Amino acid sequence: MSSDEAGKAPATIQPLKFHVPQPASRPGEKPDFSDVVIPKAGSVARPPVDVDPKDIRDLAYSIIRVLNREGEAVGPWVPDLSPEDLVRGLRHMMTLRSFDARMQMAQRQGKTSFYMQHTGEEAVSCAFRIALGPHDMNFPTYRQAGLLIAHDYPLVDMMCQIYSNQRDPMKGRQLPVMYSSKENGFFSISGNLATQFVQAVGWAMASAIKNDTRIAAAWIGDGSTAESDFHAALVFASTYKAPVVLNVVNNQWAISTFQGIARGGSGTFAARGLGFGIPALRVDGNDYLAVYAVAQWAIERARRNLGPTLVEYVTYRAGAHSTSDDPSAYRPKHESDEWPLGDPLVRLKQHLIAIGAWSEERHKQAEAEILATVIAAQKEAESFGTLHSGGKPSARDIFEDVYAELPPHLRRQRQQIGV
């Protein structure tokens, strides 16, 4: 073929077309979730945890749900949680939402540089934490603060981190919400995406190497599953049958990019696990009971040496990506109102009322109590300073912890700024 002919299609062949997936609706259009197929609550079977992964491939394409539209808990996935457990779960989610609202406001008031809310996704991290053991390790992203709150990590410490003040456990070094607490099974948040997902697999492999009983939980968002580290994590988890739960939180939006850009032609994110022989479940991420039940199933598999499980939480990021983001530029303004899986707080509240364990009055009272607790924590945290006023971490802290021991060149640099 001469160079003139190269690349030119003969008349009988159609030219190629470039495909870029598009979301169902954009600003000014009617929100459209008709492609989110929602099975009836209670309709998905619950296999035994030692099931052969090839026998449950259909679970990667369905959605496990427990709470139905009437607020009743139905079907084989109804977990063994008492009304008291559920009230506690509701209070965790309410605390997280209240915490978010106060910290969002604090950022707007200039008390810190940045914040990220969880609105609509509270059930995922709050319920998962309850299913996990106290010594297991999470490798979270920036939208799983429920893992700390549901483990009774002090709100004041979280706020001090957000304010980068003199009591900030991270000594002012980290962007707000990049918490770290080994004691609470919460690995240091990086800020780079997907890096932690494969590290969780490594932590789990270590636990197996040392014949320990602890397991790991990996966390990632829908968008970040496109990163190579996600795929590396699946390979290693599959090869070494690592005791890890691989959590994908599909909240539909990666900043301005809808989930179809990361998912491409694969039906679901859960289905990514199938090619690796990893059992994969999809769960209603706004259903506290379903999240708990699925987490428990996956955690038990890991604990019993049956290997990894991939779980996709189908949820919706009702708020902005962060305080630097404005979703009205890329999705319909009221899209979150149309999200077919509702609000996780409202749904658990409705269930508790339906079983007679809760009431509107108790809810109002709890809201007021929680708000008072959060405000009291905020006052205490602010007494140690906020980003631009009051107590600050020392400039010395810039140079500490770069290495275990301060090397001579850093000692010289520290002397240069006189601290």
Partner 1 sequence: MPRMTMIEAIRSAMDVAMGRDDDVVVFGEDVGFFGGVFRCTHGLQQKYGVSRCFDAPISESGIVGTAIGMAAYGLKPCVEIQFADYMYPAYDQIVSEAARLRYRSAGDFTCPMVIRMPTGGGIFGGQTHSQSPEALFTHVAGLKTIVPSNPYDAKGLLIAAIEDPDPVIFLEPKRLYNGPFDGHHDKPVTAWSKHALSEVPEGHYTVPLGQAVTRREGAAVSIIAYGTMVHVALAAAEDTGIDAEVIDLRTLVPLDLEAIVASVEKTGRCIVLHEATLTSGFGGELAALVQEHCFYHLEAPVMRVTGWDTPYPHAQEWDYFPGPARLGQALRDIMEAR
Instruction: Give the interface with partner 1 as residue ranges (CB under 8 A).
Output: 18, 20, 22, 26, 113-114, 164-165, 168, 172-176, 178, 190-194, 223-224, 226-229, 254-257, 261-262, 264, 324-325, 329-330, 387, 392-393, 395, 397-399, 402, 409-410, 413, 417
Smallest gap from Cβ 390 to partner 1, in A, equals 12
H/E element, 253? strand 253-254
Q: What is the DSSP string of 182-247?
A: GGGTBPPP-SSSSHHHHHHHHHHHHHHHTT----EEEEEETGGGGSHHHHHHHHHHHHHT-SEEEE
Looking at beta carbons only, is 207 or 386 nearer to partner 1? 386
**Token duo for residue 40:** 């009836």
* Min CB(123)–partner 1 separation in Å: 24
The residue (of 232 and 306) whose beta carbon lies closer to partner 1 is 232
Question: What region, left, alpha or beta, does residue 154 occupy, with left being phi > 0 and alpha being psi -120 to 50 degrees?
Answer: beta
Judged by beta carbon, residue 87 or residue 410, the one nearer partner 1 is: 410
Nearest CB to partner 1, comparing residues 119 and 224: 224
Provide, rounded to whole angstroms, the least separation between the CB of residue 35 and partner 1.
18
Residue 176 or 307: the one with the smaller Cβ distance to partner 1 is: 176
Nearer to partner 1 by Cβ, of 64 and 254: the residue is 254
Residues constituting the chain: 419
Least Å from the CB of residue 413 to partner 1? 5
Helix (H) / strand (E) element for 138: namely: strand 137-139
Q: C-beta of 34: minimal distance to partner 1 in Å?
A: 20
**Closer to partner 1 at the Cβ: 330 or 362?**
330
* Distance in Å, CB of 392 to partner 1, minimum: 6
User: Which amino acid, one-letter code, is at 251?
Assistant: N
> Cβ-count burial of 412 within 10 angstroms (0-12 exposed, 13-18 middle, 19+ buried)?
exposed
Q: How far is the CB of 7 from partner 1 (least distance, A)?
A: 9
Sign of the Cα torsion 171, 382, 97, 263 reads: negative
Buried b / exposed e across 29-47, counting CB within 10 Å, b at 16+? eeeebeeeeeeebbebebb
Task: Give, for 412, the enclosing helix (H) or strand (E).
Answer: helix 408-416
Phi, psi of 139, deg, nearest 5 = -115, 85
CB contact at 8 A, 239 and 278: no
- Closest to partner 1 by CB, 58 vs 403, is 403
Distance of CA 419 to the CA centre of its chain: 39
- Strand partners of residue 138: 186, 217
Residue 179 or 297 with smaller CB distance to partner 1:
179
CB of 74 to partner 1, least distance (A): 37
- Pair 357, 89: CB distance under 8 Å: no
Residue 249 and residue 219 in contact, taking contact as beta carbons nearer than 8 Å: yes
CB of 336 to partner 1, least distance (A): 18
